[in-house]
Amino acid sequence: MACTSQSAKDYITNARVHLVGELRSLSLILENLFQQGVLMGEEVSKIKKKKDDYDRTRAILDSVTRKGEAACYKLLRIIDLTRRRTLERPALLSKIIHEASIEAKRFDLHHWISCFPFKEDEEMDTNYFKGPRPCHRYQAKLKSKAKTISKDFWKGSKKLFEKNKTPDLSFYPVVLDTEETTPPSKIKTFKTKKSKLSRPKKLRTYVPENKPEISPSDLLKTDKNILLVGKPGIGKTALSHEMLRLWTERDDKELDYMFYFDMREITNISPTMSLKHLLFTAYSEPDEDKDEIFQDMKSHSDNVTLILDGVTDLSALVVQKLVKKDLLSYAKIIITCRPDDEEDLCDEDWLRVEVKGFSEETIRTYLSATLGEDHREVLSNVELLTLSHVPMYALMVAASCSSEDSLQPRTVTEIYINIVRFCLQNSNKTSIKNPNQFIRTKRNEILSLAEAAFNATQRKTVNLEELSCEDSCILSFLKPLDVKVAPTETITVYSFLHYTMQEFFAALWLLNNPDKIREVFLQWFTEEMKHMKHLIPFMCRLLKEKSPRLMSCLIPTEELKETSEWLFKDMINAFSTEADADDCEPYVGPLFLCQCLYESQSSEACIYFLDKLDFHLDLSEENLDPYSCCVVAYVVTQSKERKIRLNLQDVTVSKQGMRQLLRGLQNIEWCDPFPQQLWKIFLLSEGQMDDLSVQVDYRTLLCLDGNQLHLPVMGKQQLFERAVTVMQRAPTKVEVCLYWHRGALGFWSLCQYLLEALPNISSISVPISVAAAPIRLLISRSILSSLMNKTPRYLNSST
């Protein structure tokens, strides 16, 4: 509690000479004095009738001081809470003082009021009017409009999901960078370190690192003007809406106003449009006293915030005047723009914030919230994971993967097709009734972008050098890079927001130039051009004439059909020829072919492939992420007549992947003695599995063969314990075979543990190395128990 020993009455009396003549917005003071019960209605109207403000101020001060200490305290509180309106603005004051060359120090009423020791009674503060009533009502109207705008924004994204699968879409934190170094878009050299990294590492460089230093509410609080810069779809609009939402939820301590303009929507700003027209007609019209409200905004422009979203230039005069502070000089302006449009938009004293998209942590949270369990599948795919740093792409990944229809497999290419269609539709703010027709009209632009993508991919660069494109549809896929080619010359080149988007467009170009495809098939196997293989899965799906469609809007259907008649066969033949030539390690293994075939969704092509392999699919030593498991299961299940011999020797498989693989189980003839039982273990233990993604390398960890449990005791305690849990439920007696390693768990204590844990254990066998030949020592349960009774606990294998 603040000290209240200071008398309010004395405080006012001592400053009376300064208050008279300087107190402003007297009607606001009177309204509050009436509201607080200090003055009666009659007294108020009597004061209002006085000749001028000078007399009115004197009358207010006289009446209030006459009413005593409590009334004076309330007047001081009113002045304090409304000081931005009732006292001269300090900055303005100092200007006046300077201009008038007043030497003597002027009494600073702002300082004076802030020195009074008020009681801390926050609740009471809400009962005061901070401005004229019509202005309060307009503020409420603006808040309600802001809520609707934000709701509609998220509703637009929700529409992409199926009705019963709509996630709760809202704002997730984006990485915001305020470092005032050279804008990151201005990269000065063509080659970056990126080119030396492996593909997954290269892709990870797209994902921004978490920088928690500034939040949307910090941006809302700062008095500075703000420039939000970022690539297309990176979340600038979402951030603006988040600020708008935070403002609607802020308590109304201040009478302030916030406007949001989507500059792409209000294209019809005429050169002569007035500020009043912009605020009241183009945005929201007050229900009453327009002039009073407008005047209030003009006189207290520091209470006004304007968000101008998607600014490309300052051609509209009214916008230019706002940005240059010729109108509403103290208003806070927030501009969002793409890096292309940043130059010369605003002065250097603005706070420049680069919106960099989702960090890896947020990608995980976002996909988990939108996809539930399915998100793990996406996260295991480094292409999709890193692609999702652009929130708009994350949205499309989520929308594409959340499809209910299990008959419609979710191929990765489909996600990209959805992204492309979405970007094209959204780049044009007028609603598009027939998207396919719209894509047809953009054919030339799309194909020239695709050509630039192909050439850049061949050159192993991200710079689309020869592309000169002004089309907004095309620009929505790109970010600019300013490249200094000479001390006096800088050129702007474009690159895709993510490298895989470039590969997607490159694949699209190849399909339009089928004579080049065979060349690419040959390039797979060369060290220099092996990176071209990433175009092929995209091509396999793009050829398909099914929804979501893209190619049929760009290339005649007959041409696509013609290509698909030979493409799959050529691809498989190129692979088999290379696989047969065993002079070197091939760059493309069968798993990659499975991926291409899954994208193609062509049963015929799968059978052709399996036949070429003599129905023997060797995936040994592969790392099978859930997506890979899904593609393998798809290919395997296409063979209805013949079983496939599947070699999974030394594969690494995760729990989610295991589930996918199990789908193809009935078509498999196992290539080694153990896996059938291994799958059973996992089937049985599924229910008990924790979230931990268990890596199963079954040669070294755990194998179950018939009624034998093979337990290598190598410290993988968790897996060992899980196997024991499964065995506890085994209906028959089992023989446990322990592969012993020095330094592992104590042998005898382990035997004891097994005896106690496994009532159905019949015997334990221990392979013992004698010279080079291992022999197996089989100890029956009864012998083992009696041994245990005699063996001291501290005895272990080394003794």
Ligand X SMILES: Nc1ncnc2c1ncn2[C@@H]1O[C@H](COP(=O)(O)OP(=O)(O)OP(=O)(O)O)[C@@H](O)[C@H]1O
Q: Footprint of ligand X on this chain (CB under 6 A)?
A: 157, 171-172, 174, 230, 232-238, 310, 338, 391-392, 395, 476
| 3-state SS assignment for residue 775 | strand
Find the helix or strand (DSSP H, E) in which 703 lies: strand 703-705
- Tell me the closest approach of the beta carbon of residue 157 to ligand X, in angstroms: 4
Contact assessment for residue 726 and residue 681, using Cβ atoms and an 8 Å cutoff:
yes
Closest CB to ligand X among 396 and 736? 396
Closest CB to ligand X among 176 and 453? 176
| 3-state SS assignment for residue 539 | helix
- Tell me the closest approach of the beta carbon of residue 709 to ligand X, in angstroms: 49
- Tell me the closest approach of the beta carbon of residue 495 to ligand X, in angstroms: 16
Q: Which residues of 507-536 are buried (b: 16+ CB within 10 A; e: fewer)?
A: bbbbbbebeebeebbebbbeeebebbbbbb
Minimal CB distance to ligand X: which residue? Answer: 235
- Separation between Cα atoms, residue 401 and residue 399, nearest integer Å: 6
Closest CB to ligand X among 11 and 171? 171
- Tell me the closest approach of the beta carbon of residue 338 to ligand X, in angstroms: 5
- Separation between Cα atoms, residue 324 and residue 331, nearest integer Å: 11
Closest CB to ligand X among 238 and 738? 238
- Tell me the closest approach of the beta carbon of residue 235 to ligand X, in angstroms: 3
Closest CB to ligand X among 230 and 675? 230
Closest CB to ligand X among 33 and 234? 234
Residue with tokens 């291992």: 774
- Tell me the closest approach of the beta carbon of residue 164 to ligand X, in angstroms: 19
CA distances from 699 to 54, 674, 703, 763 (A): 96, 9, 7, 22
* Beta strand 761-770 pairing with 734-739: parallel
Closest CB to ligand X among 171 and 416? 171
* Beta strand 489-496 pairing with 623-624: unpaired
CA distances from 378 to 344, 373, 587, 593 (A): 41, 10, 24, 20
Closest CB to ligand X among 237 and 595? 237
- Tally the residues of the chain: 799
Residues 6+ apart with CB under 8 A from 668: 636, 643, 644, 645, 646
Closest CB to ligand X among 157 and 647? 157
Closest CB to ligand X among 150 and 301? 150
| 3-state SS assignment for residue 616 | strand
Q: Which of 293, 317, 314 is nearest to 303 (CA)?
A: 293
Contact assessment for residue 210 and residue 359, using Cβ atoms and an 8 Å cutoff:
yes
- Tell me the closest approach of the beta carbon of residue 350 to ligand X, in angstroms: 18
- Tell me the closest approach of the beta carbon of residue 592 to ligand X, in angstroms: 31
Q: Tell me how crowded residue 707 is: count the other CB atoms within 10 A of its CB.
A: 15
Closest CB to ligand X among 233 and 590? 233
- Tell me the closest approach of the beta carbon of residue 257 to ligand X, in angstroms: 23
**β partners of residue 337:** 229
* Beta strand 257-262 pairing with 304-309: parallel
Contact assessment for residue 520 and residue 532, using Cβ atoms and an 8 Å cutoff:
yes
- Tell me the closest approach of the beta carbon of residue 395 to ligand X, in angstroms: 4
Residue with tokens 């993988």: 716
- Tell me the closest approach of the beta carbon of residue 152 to ligand X, in angstroms: 11
